[in-house]
Chain A
Amino acid sequence: MKFDRFDKILFILLAFAVAGLAVYAIRSLPGKTTAVDTRSMERELAAQARIALIDKLFAPVTAAMQAGQYQEALLKLEEINVRYPGEAHGFILKGEILSRLESLDGAVTAFVRGVKLNGDYIDKRSQVSRRDIIEKLLEISLPRAAASYRNAPGNPVLKAALANNNYLKSRLAGGCE
């Protein structure tokens, strides 16, 4: 391959472009670290702010739960859910209350709605994780739901209940989302 004058000009221009790129890339390195750290901090702040807000919002519900007044907790939860209908935490708390009341299907349905809205509740490392509670619930509810569906395979309600159990099992098992 033979290079003419125009090739040589292009090589020189390319060298300038690469050198300029290198200079700016190196100069931006300290700034880059700051930007990444800032974004991580912003995410962390948003997560912490959410936790603080839901703690405050749902404080009456958790207080009633701790006092063992589950019916009252459910009523308070309904009041809050009217104001914040799409908040996953409400469904998660409902799942916890219904699970303590041994209303297994209701608990599973509530957990499914909560987990679909926010997958953090199933993550091992999340601060709001309810993984252990859901695992314990499924140990009892999944065999029951499977047995009920086997006895009445055409029943759409039982089919939906089994599907909900399987959804939670699949989410607990991990994999790509």
Chain B
Amino acid sequence: MRHDRHVLLVACSGALLGFLGVMLAVWGNPENSGICVSCFIENSAGALGLHNNARLQYLRPELAGFVLGAFGSTLLNREFRSRGGSAPLFRFAAGFFLIVGCALFIGCPIKLFLRFTAGDLTALAGVIGLLVGVWGGLKGLAHGVELGRLSPAAAPAGSGLLSPLFFLLMLLFVFVSPAFLIASERGSSAQHAPLFLSLGAGLLLGFVAQRSRFCITGTVRDVLLMGRRAPLLWGGGAFLVSAVVANVATGRFNPGFAGQPGSHQEYLWSFLGMALVGWLSVLIGGCPFRQLVKSGEGDTDAALVVAGMFLGGALVQGWNLAATSAGVPTGGKIAVISGFALLFGGSLLFRNRE
């Protein structure tokens, strides 16, 4: 009975994520980017003045919604617990490279499947990359690569509040724009859904994702480990079905390889970008979306990943590492290879050989 309820919750989370992922684009977010954690972080980093790409600066309320929704959920269910202290610097660097991998593909794992369900067949390279990356991460775990266990003792009580407080401040900035906040008047950041719809969707998704523990790479990981017995499989399936139905119903399903919104045809780099994201996500316990949710639960390690993601969001734009429809810049290729170097080097260092 309890298992059935959990499966239902996971399926609802997946369906909501897929549906709102499409609908937020219908309501004003960029095409196929109704929900894209990496894009939102790049936009928000720009809004805070951390990069100067004038077309990518907007404080996305969805981000604050994800974290605060998860925070609210843990408070309601008395699950909030500060914890952390496991390889913090590695996690910070991993956060940076998560965004590098996403920037090469042009989207996080959620957007990967939003693009795919809208008929963007170039996303297939990313899907395969994510599968291979998660598989690689699991092989690493099986061979003793682990960053150490999270410990409540290592994180002083209350330290887990810092991330929700930071995002509460971001939410305040959304409503009372301080002088330093920047908002693009052109480009993809000038496209956004109405504030309260974005925030409401974010809060709802943060809440249900915290309850269900649903995330994209987690689903792939569990399916590779448990096959059809994985409860998250229902979430993944519901996500795909609801996203396809919403895309078809709103006339956004345009199958093809060429000329897709926010995509390029450098398949090797799409593959490598998502492989890096998948592998890192397994090591650090979740994709960018899950890291935000966990940081709202009091996980200070996830909060450090989020901090790394903000640095990544700033530097992929500031250093011109991000791919565009024109292709992948050389700097981006170097960055993703550096990410793999960190991943493999880190795996050697963090390997438990006993």
A residues with CB within 8 A of B: 28-29, 31-32, 35-36, 39-40, 43, 112, 116, 119-120, 123, 125-126, 142, 146, 162-163, 165-177
In the assembled complex, the Cα of A167 lies from the Cα of B191 at a distance in Å of 20
CB distance from A133 to the nearest CB of B (A): 17
Task: Using known A-B contacts A29-B176, A174-B30, determine if residue A166 contacts B259 with beta carbons closer than 8 Å.
Answer: yes
Chain B residues lying within 8 Å of A119, measured Cβ to Cβ, are 55, 186-187
> Cβ of B188 and Cβ of A174 under 8 Å apart?
yes
- Residues 102-122 of B at the A interface (beta carbon under 8 Å): 106-107, 111
Say whether B326 faces chain A, with CB atoms less than 8 Å apart. yes
> Cβ of A177 and Cβ of B262 under 8 Å apart?
yes
18 further contact pairs, Cβ within 8 A, besides A28-B178, A173-B261, A175-B325:
A32-B177, A39-B179, A43-B54, A116-B326, A119-B55, A125-B186, A142-B259, A165-B259, A167-B326, A170-B262, A170-B263, A175-B32, A175-B260, A176-B107, A176-B262, A177-B55, A177-B56, A177-B325
A to B contact number (C-beta, < 8 Å): 90
Write the chain A residue with the least CB distance to B40.
Answer: A176
CB distance from B24 to the nearest CB of A (A): 13
Say whether B154 faces chain A, with CB atoms less than 8 Å apart. no
CB distance from B75 to the nearest CB of A (A): 18
Write the chain B residue with the least CB distance to A166.
Answer: B258
Say whether B324 faces chain A, with CB atoms less than 8 Å apart. yes
Closest 4 CB pairs of A and B: A175-B262, A169-B259, A175-B261, A35-B179
> Cβ of A176 and Cβ of B36 under 8 Å apart?
yes
> Cβ of A170 and Cβ of B30 under 8 Å apart?
no
6 contacts between A and B (CB under 8 A): A28-B178, A32-B179, A126-B186, A167-B325, A176-B30, A177-B56
In the assembled complex, the Cα of A39 lies from the Cα of B183 at a distance in Å of 10
In the assembled complex, the Cα of A176 lies from the Cα of B106 at a distance in Å of 7
- Residues 175-221 of B at the A interface (beta carbon under 8 Å): 176-179, 181-182, 185-188, 190-191
CB distance from B190 to the nearest CB of A (A): 8
> Cβ of B31 and Cβ of A174 under 8 Å apart?
yes
Task: Using known A-B contacts A32-B179, A169-B258, A170-B263, determine if residue A175 contacts B33 with beta carbons closer than 8 Å.
Answer: yes
Write the chain A residue with the least CB distance to B42.
Answer: A176
In the assembled complex, the Cα of A29 lies from the Cα of B326 at a distance in Å of 42
> Cβ of B31 and Cβ of A170 under 8 Å apart?
no
Our pick among A162, A168, A173 for the contact of B260 (Cβ within 8 Å) is A173
CB distance from B40 to the nearest CB of A (A): 9
Chain B residues lying within 8 Å of A168, measured Cβ to Cβ, are 259
CB distance from A126 to the nearest CB of B (A): 6
